[in-house]
Amino acid sequence: MMIRRKKWISFLVVVLVLLFCVPLGSHVRYRKPVIAVVASASGNLGQILVHVLNQYGADARLVDNNRGSVRDYDALVIPGGEDVDPAFYGQANMSSRNLNPNEDRLQMEAVRTFVQAKKPVLGICRGSQIINVALGGTLRQQIDGHMKAMRKVDIWKSSTFRCVLGRDYNGMHYHHQCIDKLADGLISTQADAVDGCLEGFQHQSLPVYGFQWHPEMTESSKRAVFRFFVHICELSESDGTPFH
């Protein structure tokens, strides 16, 4: 009888704490997900993504390519930038420009480390290409019509982000290259509505996502994609359970 009474007292204490110490309608959260955003040598795109991610509840930090351990972060984001050196996917340079193979190498090592740790990874534009090449895929070195252009993208049912973007979306494009062969384990989730160019992918079993277009450049897609990615980081566990 005494044991049962103690259990009820403990239960009432928990209820009272929740009622009086936690504001009504709030969620109990231990901490914000700490997200590493890789600095880019080609501009301030990394800093822009830090601002956007923090706006939607993350603790995003701009990091050098060679600084920090995967243990220090819950997720990795790679921004846009210059072309990936085609030597990394076994091709001669036909139309790639402004190459920085050292930056490529460091970013690909970071991708492999986070993927091995089964932590969330998001790549935007060049970042999506880095993910693909790091995992064994290839690129098309020249396509037309995708530089500084708003283009319609079809979002397929296979996409985790379809629930926030809908069946299609008009996104800002800033690329003259795109993914050719997807790496093993990656599946196509988005394609250009006109020419069929692959515009997005995700891993079939891990929380790894790539956008060839720039969701940070329009208000509605920025809100949808990055708020949802922060939510994925909150829900993903260290064993790599992805949010679907």
Which positions are catalytic?
125, 214, 216
Tokens 């299609």 correspond to 168
Distance CA 221, CA 170 (A): 9
- Give me the half-sphere count of Cα atoms (radius 13 Å) on the Cβ side of residue 167: 0
Label each residue of the chain as H, E or C.
Answer: CHHHHHHHHHHHHHHHHHHHHCCCCCCCCCCCCEEEEECCCCCCHHHHHHHHHHHCCCEEEEECCCCCCHHHCCEEEECCCCCCCHHHHCCCCCCCCCCCHHHHHHHHHHHHHHHHCCCCEEEECHHHHHHHHHCCCCEECCCCCCEEEEEEEEECCCCCCHHHHCCEEEEEEECCCEECCCCCCEEEEEEECCCCCEEEEEECCCCEEEECCEHHHCHHHHHHHHHHHHHHHHHCCCCCCCCC
CA–CA dist 179, 208 (Å, integer): 16
